[in-house]
Amino acid sequence: MERIIITGALGQIGTELTLKLREKYGEENVLPTDIKEPEGEALKGKPFEVLDVRDQERMKALVSEFKPDTMMHMASLLSATAEKNPQFAWEINMGGLVNALETAREFGLKFFTPSSIGAFGPSTPKENTPQVTIQRPTTMYGVNKVAGELLCDYYHEKFGVDTRGVRFPGLISHVKEPGGGTTDYAVEIYFEALRNGRYTSFIDKSTNMDMMYMEDAIDAIIKLMEAHPGQLKDRNAFNVSAMSINPEMVANEIRKHIPDFELDYDVDPVRQGIAESWPNAIDSTEAKRQWGFDPRYDLEKMTEVMLEAIRNK
């Protein structure tokens, strides 16, 4: 990778990905885009373009002008938000992906887009979930992600586009608070622990889900994209995860730092239903074997970093 264009750069992943790529490849070689101008200081005032991913002509014009060799397509509506407006989710998640893949095909770009554990469903094996297994999701977000995995494979096989992707678990970050995901509790709980000393979880206490600290997620994207094509038996939908946790586990870790922290529950049936349809713990063996995926943060280390960073804000 030398020059990179990013869609959805103001999202939870896109913000930190942009900063890391600019640090690594130079500010002038990374062009973030999103549907609106940045408001936060991290990307405000730097090179940035407004792009609605449904506008293919605008997308192609930006690529023609910027001349990247890589596109990272991060624009997406998340799971709970997508359930509220499934038709709009299809327009953004699938329409935007088709436009991005067509642009990558036309301009010969290396291409990354993330999938999710949301691509799994109730009939998927819950423990040690294989990379290749039954996928029958029951949400629009999940349907989008399965279709996206298959579409990326198709563009690689049919047109030779260098497509690559991972299935992300819940991602935990102190830089940007989340918006609309089923795993959001695992971010909110840290902010509320420091703000109020208590948190009300919308996910039930015994519900395990895969998670990863954002720094590990960003490193995984870059490591996969820098891998030599000859290393990759697979292209898209690599399982990646660092930990399988539930709200009680997070609360107990927080109490090591904030002994009086209180956790109670007001379970959201929509997001709880989504969570119960996902695996408890997925198998990341192929990502480790094929391109060296190696997360550095477990729950203990992540909790220390999250609380310190939020406190410093």
Catalytic residues: 141
Distance CA 42, CA 21 (A): 13
Of 235, 48, 218, 54, residue with least CA distance to 160: 235
- Going from the C-alpha of 165 to that of each of 48, 99, 307, the distances in angstroms are 24, 17, 30
